[in-house]
Amino acid sequence: MDTKKLRQKILDLAIRGKLVPQDPNDEPASVLLERIRAEKERLIADGKIKRPRKSKTSASPSHYEKLPSGWEKTTLKDIAWFGGGKTPSTENKQFWKDGTVNWVTSKDMKEPIIYHSQIKLSEIGATQNILYPMGSLLMVTRSGILRRTLPLARLGEAATVNQDIKAICTPYSELNEYLYYYFSGREKEILEKFQKSGTTVESIDFEKFQEIEILLPPLQEQIRIIHQLKFLFKVQEKIDSETSELNRLITDTRSKVLELAMQGKLVPQDPTDEPAADMLRRVNPKAKIITDIPHSRNIPSNWVLCRFGDIASISRGASPRPIKSYITNDPNGVNWIKIGDTDGKYINSTKEKIIREGVNLSREVKKGDFLLTNSMSFGKPYILNIDGCIHDGWLVISPKEESYDKEFLYYLLSSQYAYSQFSDKAGGAVVSNLNSAKVANTSFPLLSILEQKRIVAKIEELYACLDKIETSLQS
Dump pLDDT digits (tens) for 254-300: 999 999 999 999 999 999 999 999 999 999 999 999 887 776 677 89
Instruction: Please state, in angstroms and rounded to a whole number, the distance separating the CA atoms of residues 456 and 391.
Output: 30
- Name which residue leads in pLDDT, 242 or 168: 168
Q: Per residue, what are the HEC states of 374-430?
A: CECCCCCEEEECCCEEECCCEEEEEECCCCCCHHHHHHHHHCHHHHHHHHHHHCCCC
pLDDT of residue 292: 77
Whole-prediction pTM value? Answer: 0.68
Dump pLDDT digits (tens) for 332-354: 999 999 988 988 889 999 999 99
Give me the residues paired with residue 194 across strands: none
Instruction: Please state, in angstroms and rounded to a whole number, the distance separating the CA atoms of residues 282 and 178.
Output: 75
**Which phi and psi (to 5°) does residue 76 adopt?**
-60, -40
pLDDT of residue 154: 97
Residue 56: which pLDDT band, with cuts at 50, 70 and 90?
A: low
Instruction: Please state, in angstroms and rounded to a whole number, the distance separating the CA atoms of residues 380 and 432.
Output: 13
Q: From residue 127, how far is each of 94, 117, 159, 456 by CA, in Å?
A: 11, 17, 11, 70
pLDDT of residue 351: 95
Of 190-199, 215-224, 278-287, highest mean pLDDT: 215-224
Residue 4: which pLDDT band, with cuts at 50, 70 and 90?
A: confident
Dump pLDDT digits (tens) for 61-86: 555 568 999 999 999 999 999 999 99
Instruction: Please state, in angstroms and rounded to a whole number, the distance separating the CA atoms of residues 160 and 167.
Output: 9
pLDDT > 90 fraction of the chain, expressed in percent and rounded: 74
Q: Provide the mean pLDDT of the chain.
A: 90
How many residues comprise the chain? 475
Which residues does 252 contact at the CB level (< 8 Å), separation at least 6?
Answer: none
Dump pLDDT digits (tens) for 360-419: 999 999 998 999 988 767 889 999 999 999 999 899 999 988 899 999 999 999 999 898
Instruction: Please state, in angstroms and rounded to a whole number, the distance separating the CA atoms of residues 43 and 27.
Output: 24
pLDDT of residue 63: 54
pLDDT of residue 296: 66
Residue 423: which pLDDT band, with cuts at 50, 70 and 90?
A: confident
Q: Which has the closest alpha carbon to 204: 141, 152, 159, 145? A: 141
pLDDT over 80 at 355, yes or no? yes
Q: Please give the average per-residue pLDDT across 127-144, as a whole number.
A: 94
pLDDT of residue 379: 85
Other Cβ atoms within 10 Å of 186 Cβ, number: 19
Residue 106: which pLDDT band, with cuts at 50, 70 and 90?
A: very high
Which residues does 78 contact at the CB level (< 8 Å), separation at least 6?
Answer: 33, 36, 37, 214
pLDDT of residue 144: 82
Instruction: Please state, in angstroms and rounded to a whole number, the distance separating the CA atoms of residues 243 and 231.
Output: 18
